[in-house]
């Protein structure tokens, strides 16, 4: 079940995580189902955090120079 998480896009993982949170908050799940959902949610959260870190590493900050031209620099 968690084996496919690494292949999920950030958006798909986040959407599933949001569904899990809503279901857990409803209080309508049986205990074992809630535990399983919580475990999957934790794995999805970690995956989302990893995807965000990867994106941050790739993001370039656009800096406007005094003459109005734009420069790009890597974010450290």
Query: Which CATH number is 45's domain given?
Result: 1.10.287
Quote the number of domains for the chain. 1
Angle at 23 between CA 21 and CA 28, to 5 degrees: 140
Name residues whose C-beta falls within 8 Å of residue 31's C-beta, 6 or more positions apart in sequence: none
Q: How high is the pLDDT of residue 3? A: 80
Q: How high is the pLDDT of residue 22? A: 97
Q: Containing domain of residue 52, as a range?
A: 5-74
| Statement: the pTM of the whole predicted model exceeds 0.85 | no
Tens-binned pLDDT, residue by residue, of the chain (76 aa): 568 999 999 999 999 999 999 999 999 999 999 999 999 999 999 999 999 988 877 775 555 666 767 666 665 5
Q: How high is the pLDDT of residue 75? A: 59
In angstroms, the CA 46 to CA 48 distance is 5
């Amino acid at each position: 079940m968690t084996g496919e998480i690494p292949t999920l896009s950030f958006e798909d993982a986040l959407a599933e995580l949001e569904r899990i949170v809503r279901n857990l908050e409803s209080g309508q799940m049986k205990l074992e189902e809630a535990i399983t959902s919580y475990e999957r949610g934790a794995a999805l959260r970690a995956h989302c955090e990893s995807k965000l870190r990867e994106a941050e590493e790739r993001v370039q900050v656009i800096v406007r120079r005094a003459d109005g031209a734009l420069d790009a620099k890597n974010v450290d």
